[in-house]
Amino acid sequence: MKIPTIYPTENYTEAVGFASLGNDLADSLRLVASYIGKILKGANPGDLPVLSPQKTLITINTKAARELGITIPQHIQARLID
């Protein structure tokens, strides 16, 4: 039995999964760097606002989709890299 799997990061999709949906790691790291910079300049961590990543990343493993018999809609296929 083949079951499509969805993971939180794209490295799983590249290895074995069908798809991933989660925060863009680069965007998250920029937020962390911003916080670190403010703290190093003397900001009190308790006074900093809570921020969340603004970018969401979805990846689809087209090879896995073919093997599972899943058809990816045309408007999404145009954005995929095989």
Tens of pLDDT, residue by residue over 3-40, are 888 888 888 888 778 888 888 888 889 999 999 999 99
Return mean pLDDT, the chain: 86
Report how far residue 58's alpha carbon sits from residue 51's, in angstroms, rounded to the nearest whole number.
Answer: 21
3-state secondary structure of 42: coil
* Cα–Cα distance measured from residue 51 to residue 30, given in angstroms and rounded to the nearest whole number: 11
Residue 14, pLDDT score: 80
Residues in the chain: 82
The confidence band for 48, taking pLDDT boundaries of 50, 70 and 90, is very high
pLDDT band for position 53 (cuts 50, 70, 90): confident
SS3 22: strand
